[in-house]
Structures are given as structure tokens and as C-alpha cells.
Amino acid sequence: MLRHAALACLLLTGSAAHASDPAGSYTQADFERVRKLDAHVHANTRDHAFLDVARRDGFELLSINVDYPDFPSLELQADTVHELQAADPARFHFATTFSMHGFGSTGWTAAAERRIDAELKRGAVAVKVWKNIGMVERDAAGHYIMLDDPGFDALMAHLEARGVPLIAHQAEPRNCWLPLDEMTTENDRSYFREHPEYYMYLHPEMPSYESLLAARDRFVARHPHLKFVGAHLASLEWSVDELSKFLDRYPNASADLAARMTNVQYQSQRDYDKVRAFFIRYQDRLLYGSDLTENPPTAAERAQNPPMNPGADFTAEADGFWRSDWQYLATAAVQHVDAINADVRGLALPKPVIDKIYYRNARRVFGLH
């Protein structure tokens, strides 16, 4: 499933692609050789296609297990990442998660801690919480369970004490709360059209975007020593100004870029200098991530959902996706981005900034030394 692979038609000019940049940025030709870590992928199959393309393109991978009904079971996801890590321990890293089953009952915290500790022992470098907290799971009274529910406190203290980062996907892109014709990106429009159960504009009875992020913010404030990674630009993908405020307010937080590049490109189309300055200012707080997902090929293993691109070659799509993101962040070259129907100029971030966003920040946050 390549949710956001709708990038196409590179408009590379020879000079932009190959000339060495006076400002000290990389070129497209540097892509393979510069060390990179994709801090947000889902490797859900045992074949080595993901590892192979990562090796070829110079990436390490952080594969995130997540309690997502369209993914294989947590047990199967865990078995898969164990196997892939054993195959290439220097390149393949993974994050574990916990089940919400029985939340609030006696023994839930102990069971979640047992599961997490066992995975940490096997090499997990982080724990993931998903948007089911806030948007799916309900308590006995029928209220949605929010991330700042005191029922999480003991588990979070456990992570905090061990220096284990929490990767949190809370809420959704803000587009999710807008009518289809007001959404800023085609990838959001097609995803929410196809997932009405997650399309909040159709569910005014559900918690609002603002209330979900307010609960998340209260949670981050309550755990000032927890290493917090806001997945998908901390769900503030629509505004680098709002994301700046979040990062300023919570020094323990960082954010990954997974599956939100088109939202950033939408902004840089309108104010290039502001978006570029944002990346430079927060160069220590941002982690490159793609959300590339390789799912099992058979319907039985795949759970409910078919892949977005049935029959597509995962290796070619991953390679194309990564190169497009590199072109946008690392070079000044222009590419057409279908999702916002625009020719987008790359940010040409300075080499040291690229090295941090693509590698060093993730190595630091996830303790990969």
C-alpha cells in the first residue's frame, strides 16, 4: 500500500541535477551514497524486498508495528520484524506496540509492559501508539479514550524511566475534517473517500481535530521526560507555524515527516522561504519518514484491505518515492507533484541539515549508537 505515491514526472534539468550547489546542498546524484534512515515504514512481509531496496538506496529502516486492523496481527507483525532484523541487524530497526484490549481493567498495564519489555529485549527501539486512541477505542461509558487518560500513566512512566521513545500518531491530517473539495491534497482526498470510517467530516459525533490534539498536548506536557515523536508531522502538517509552536512548547518532542510531504509542498508553493527556514530552524527536531508499507501478498495474510496499487512493484515504487522526497528536500530541482497539481521547487537544504533530518536525529532519538 503506497498511500501517497502519487508523485510523478520529474522535471529535472541537467544543471539542477548535476551542478554542485554553491549553497552546499546535495544533488540527486548523491542520493544513494549519503547515509539515510527512514524512521517510519511498515515492513509486513517476510520477503527481503524492502531490505534489498533500502540497501541499494543507502537507507536504514525503522519498521513500526501498529495495532491497525488492516495490518496483520500484532504477533505476525512482530515475527516479521524479528526475522528481518536478524537478516540485517545494522540496517533494520523496529518499534513495537501494545494492544488496547482490556484497557482500564486490572492487569492491562502489567500485560502491556510485559509485551513491550519482551520486545525491547529483542531489540525494539520505540513504542507506537496509534489513532485508535482518541478515535476508535471507548471506555465502559462509551466515551472515546484519549491519550491523556490516566489509565496510560503507569505504562508511560515505565517507558519514560527506560528512555524508550513513544511514536504517537494522533488524529489525522486536518483535511480529514474538511469537505472533499476543500482538502488541500489529492492523496488525502482519495484516502478519505476510500475510508469513510476514518473521514471525520462525515462523523461530527466524533472528537474534533482540536480536541484530539489538545488531549495529545496535555499528554506531552504531563510526561516532560518522555521522548515523544509526533508521527506525520505531529498531525500539524498543514501549518509549519503551528508545528513550530508545538516544538517550541515541548522540548522533549520531535516529529517525523511520514506521508505528509505533499502537505509541506503545498505550503512551500505558497511561501518557499518560510518553509525552508522552518526546516533549518528545527533541523534537530525533524526525522525523515515515508510511511512506505509492504503488506503480505495473499488476501488471507493481508487482513481486510487490498493494497492501493495491486500488482505494483513495491521495489520500484519505494525507490521512486524516496528519490522524489530527496529531490524535494535536498536539491533545488523542480518536480511535478500530482497530489497538489503543481510544479514544486526543492528546498535545497544545506548538507548538514539533510544529514540530521535523514540520519543523525533518528539515530539520536532512537538510541542507535
Which residues sit opposite 93 in a β-bridge?
A: 62
Residues 6+ apart with CB under 8 A from 350: 23, 24, 25, 280
Beta carbon of residue 4, minimum distance to Zn ion (angstroms, whole number): 11
Beta carbon of residue 40, minimum distance to Zn ion (angstroms, whole number): 6
Quick note: the x/- pattern for Zn ion over 205-224, rule CB under 5 A, is: --------------------
Does 291 sit near Zn ion (CB under 5 A)? yes
Closest CB to Zn ion among 149 and 291?
291
- What is the Cα 239 distance to its own chain's centre? 17
Closest CB to Zn ion among 7 and 347?
7
Beta carbon of residue 235, minimum distance to Zn ion (angstroms, whole number): 12
Beta carbon of residue 245, minimum distance to Zn ion (angstroms, whole number): 24
CA angle 347, 353, 359 (to 5 degrees): 115
Beta carbon of residue 86, minimum distance to Zn ion (angstroms, whole number): 23
Let me know: does 290 contact 232? Beta carbons within 8 Å: no
Beta carbon of residue 168, minimum distance to Zn ion (angstroms, whole number): 11
The residue count for binding Zn ion (CB under 5 A) is 1
Does 67 sit near Zn ion (CB under 5 A)? no
Closest CB to Zn ion among 43 and 253?
43
Given the DSSP bridges, would you call strands 334-337 and 342-345 parallel, antiparallel or unpaired? antiparallel
Q: How far apart are CA 163 and CA 172, in angstroms?
A: 27
Interhelix angle for 272-281 vs 240-249, to 10°? 20
Beta carbon of residue 17, minimum distance to Zn ion (angstroms, whole number): 30
Cα-based distances in Å from 344 to 229, 258, 287: 27, 18, 21
C-alpha cell at 36: 539515510
Helix intervals (H) in the chain: 14-18, 49-57, 74-87, 108-121, 132-135, 153-162, 186-194, 209-222, 231-234, 240-249, 261-270, 272-281, 299-302, 314-330, 351-355, 361-365
Quick note: the x/- pattern for Zn ion over 248-287, rule CB under 5 A, is: ----------------------------------------
Closest CB to Zn ion among 182 and 197?
197
Quick note: the x/- pattern for Zn ion over 87-116, rule CB under 5 A, is: ------------------------------
Closest CB to Zn ion among 146 and 292?
292
Q: How far apart are CA 230 and CA 191, in angstroms?
A: 21
Question: Which of the 8 DSSP states describes residue 177?
Answer: G
Task: Give the range of 68-76, 87-95, 104-112, 291-299 binding Zn ion by CB under 5 A.
Answer: 291-299
Does 60 sit near Zn ion (CB under 5 A)? no
Closest CB to Zn ion among 16 and 37?
37
Question: Using CB under 5 A as the criterion, which residues of the chain lie in contact with Zn ion when the complex forms?
Answer: 291
